[in-house]
Amino acid sequence: MEITPQRKRILTYILIIIVLGFLLLSVLVSFFPSSFIDREFSEEIQEHENPFLDAVMKAASYPGYVPYAPIMVIITALLFYIRKHKREAIFVILTLASSLLSTLVKFIINRPRPGKDIVKVLIQTHQQSFPSGHVLFYVVFFGFLSLLMYMFKHIGKKLRLTITAGCMLMIFIIPISRIYLGAHWFTDVLGGFLLGILYLFALSYLYLRRSA
């Protein structure tokens, strides 16, 4: 896949904007751990609470917890390895490193989780709040899996589209799930999304560069 100089410039500008956006967001949540915007988002999403949505949102979040996330990644990598795609299996394993990145940033920012006195907490969590590790991991893992489906032209089109659609659904439902469950603020999931995009780009760049 050849990228023209003009597209490279556009991509560079987009990455710079994402980096600056994440840095600005990190500073913002450091000085304002509980903002009006965050509270409004949580209130708007949680006002639709019902038993069915509780089950759906909890189910959407479960794959991001330990030990489910590592097991899911390892099984996926094994499937690629069995099919003689050893490089792809290694890169799939590398998506787990996003959890280490999340933990590092959480430690630096040290933002507390939403409190029960402000939002409804349906799932109790213990690590710091910013950025959302679930959103970061989903963007990286499911995003990279979508890239592989785009690259693997030898796989049936219907199967590739089905897997890609499932991946996109997981990526876009997880931010809502984390806010709905009272585990994160809006700015947490936004930070996880931005950082996930940056990690996914770096991983995809290395993969596509070696593939070329």
For 7-45, the pLDDT digits (tens) are 888 989 999 999 999 999 999 999 888 788 899 999 999
Enumerate the H helices of 32-123 as residue ranges.
Answer: 36-46, 51-61, 68-82, 86-94, 97-109
Q: Report pLDDT for 2.
A: 56
Query: Residues in the chain with pLDDT < 50?
Result: none
- The angle that helices 36-46 and 186-211 make with each other, rounded to 10 degrees, is 90
How many domains are there within the chain? Answer: 1
pTM of the model: 0.92
pLDDT of residue 1: 52
pLDDT of amino acid 207: 92
State residue 147's pLDDT score.
Answer: 96
Position 206 scores a pLDDT of: 93
Domain housing 154:
5-211
Count CB neighbours of 192 within 10 A.
29
pLDDT score at 115? 87
Residue appearing with tokens 């840095």: 23
